[in-house]
């Protein structure tokens, strides 16, 4: 490889440190590089100058591997291995001289020739690293949304109060946790399996009620043998939650314009999008992430999202309104504390907010009231004082 290997330069407005940050962002998750290789590239970039990244220039370093090892606290063998890793990945070119000697010459701030580590491939792959970063960001968003949907399915499975369904869900997702699962394909498979199990249970017809135990003996001689109240197989269905009847579109109908804009940007009214919109709105409302986390733990993510939506709506009510929220952060924290003791009627709060939005009177412009001149024994003195004040505040021409 020639010691005058030049490159086409970075895009306009991009500095070497921006290129370095982009490389560090995608090196390990996008290209599988080791931490030593990433640290070595940082050291390379710090050894270069801004002019080395202009089109037609040579961007290279010729410091010996033992010097890099001393600077990074590593062994020369580790440096050689990392350089070999970077070369195989196509980010550098090693073009040392005879017997591995490294040397170079810089004149008037520009490298004339260099035998060592050439960074031209790294500079040339800037657009590729940008595309990789965008792909990783989209993948992270997809993973986050899939995890949220799996958590919602797990909550519905727990609310179904079916031991068999819960055991099958445990085999699909042990401990019900997805934090350590980073494969989107595996997360999608888990979501589809849980969704299929839940759909099968919800679509199944209701079983026929069991007949009560009766006795063949005459009724006047002995009481009928009815089912024992303490039977372990008897279960009482949980009372339906009124919040279950609130759909995402219904909730979005009472939201503020800024909240609706976030949901529309995310793709429309779905519970995962409402959860994401409420999480983003916490920063605008001054709600700490710790308070949001406690609300999700106490209410569930969907009800916590609905709570933030209602708080955001009521924070925009005029002063003196009975439902106006002065401090959104204290309001949500109070709801979290209240649910531990007496509970929160979230459905009632939603209905009240819905009625308030539907029944909001149109703005009416009040007619200007005519100020009558004062009357009585102090009228003359009052008029003189008012005239004096007007002379003081009127600017002179």
Q: Which of 93-107, 296-310, 363-377 has the lowest mean pLDDT?
A: 363-377
**How many angstroms from the chain centroid is the CA of residue 235?**
39
β-strand pairing of 93-94 with 60-61: unpaired
Compute the average pLDDT of residues 158-165. Answer: 78
> What is the pTM for the complete model shown?
0.47
pLDDT for 4 equals 67
CA distance 58 to 117: 11
Would you say residue 365 has pLDDT above 50?
no
CA distance 245 to 358: 19
pLDDT band at 217 (very low <50, low <70, confident <90, very high): very low
- Non-local (6+) Cβ contacts of 146 within 8 A are 184, 187, 188, 191
Would you say residue 153 has pLDDT above 50?
yes
DSSP state of 51: G
pLDDT for 35 equals 92
pLDDT band at 179 (very low <50, low <70, confident <90, very high): confident
Other beta carbons within 10 angstroms of residue 296's beta carbon come to 20
pLDDT band at 219 (very low <50, low <70, confident <90, very high): very low
What is the C-alpha R_g of the chain?
Answer: 35
Burial class (CB in 10 A: 0-12, 13-18, 19+), 27: buried
Compute the average pLDDT of residues 227-256. Answer: 69
Compute the average pLDDT of residues 63-72. Answer: 90
Would you say residue 200 has pLDDT above 60?
yes
Burial class (CB in 10 A: 0-12, 13-18, 19+), 200: exposed
Q: Which of 28-37, 166-175, 217-226, 313-322 has the lowest mean pLDDT?
A: 217-226
Residue carrying structure tokens 């009052």: 382
Q: Which residue has the higher pLDDT, 16 or 335?
A: 16
Would you say residue 38 has pLDDT above 60?
yes
Domains of the chain: 16-124 (1.10.10), 129-203 (no CATH), 245-358 (no CATH)
- Non-local (6+) Cβ contacts of 254 within 8 A are 309, 310, 313, 350, 353, 354, 357
Length of the chain: 397
Give yes or no for a contact between 72 and 43, defined as CB atoms under 8 angstroms apart. Answer: yes
């Amino acid at each position: 490889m020639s010691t005058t290997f030049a490159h086409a330069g970075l895009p306009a407005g991009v500095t070497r440190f921006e290129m370095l940050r982009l490389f560090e962002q995608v090196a390990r998750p996008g290209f599988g590089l080791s931490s030593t290789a990433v640290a070595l590239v940082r050291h390379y970039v710090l050894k270069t100058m801004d002019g080395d990244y202009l089109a037609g220039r040579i961007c290279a370093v010729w410091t010996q591997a033992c010097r890099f090892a001393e600077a990074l606290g590593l062994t020369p063998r580790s440096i050689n291995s990392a350089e070999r890793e970077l070369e195989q990945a196509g980010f550098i070119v090693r073009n040392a001289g005879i017997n591995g000697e490294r040397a170079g010459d810089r004149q008037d701030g520009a490298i004339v020739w260099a035998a060592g580590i050439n960074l031209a491939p790294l500079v040339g792959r800037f657009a590729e690293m940008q595309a990789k970063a965008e792909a990783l960001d989209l993948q992270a968003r997809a993973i986050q949304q899939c995890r949220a949907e799996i958590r919602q399915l797990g909550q519905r499975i727990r609310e179904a109060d079916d031991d068999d369904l819960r055991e099958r869900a445990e085999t699909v997702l042990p401990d019900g946790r997805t934090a350590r699962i980073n494969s989107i394909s595996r997360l999608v498979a888990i979501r589809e399996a849980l969704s299929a199990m839940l759909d099968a249970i919800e679509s199944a017809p209701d079983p026929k009620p069991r007949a009560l135990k009766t006795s063949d003996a005459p009724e006047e001689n002995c009481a009928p043998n009815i089912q024992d109240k303490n039977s372990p197989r008897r279960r009482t269905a949980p009372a339906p939650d009124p919040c279950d009847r609130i759909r995402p579109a219904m909730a979005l109908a009472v939201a503020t314009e800024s909240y609706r804009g976030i949901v529309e940007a995310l793709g429309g009214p779905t519970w995962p999008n409402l959860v994401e919109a409420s999480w983003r709105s916490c920063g605008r409302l001054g709600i700490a992430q710790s308070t949001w986390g406690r609300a999700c733990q106490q209410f569930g993510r969907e009800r916590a999202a609905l709570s933030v939506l209602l708080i955001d709506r009521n924070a925009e009510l005029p002063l003196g309104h009975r439902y106006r929220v002065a401090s959104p952060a204290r309001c949500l924290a109070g709801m979290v504390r209240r649910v531990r003791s007496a509970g929160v009627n979230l459905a009632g709060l939603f209905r009240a907010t819905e009625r308030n939005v539907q029944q909001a009177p149109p703005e009416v412009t009040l007619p200007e009231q005519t100020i009558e001149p004062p009357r009585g024994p102090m009228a003359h003195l009052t008029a003189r004082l008012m005239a004096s004040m007007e002379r003081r505040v009127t600017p002179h021409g």
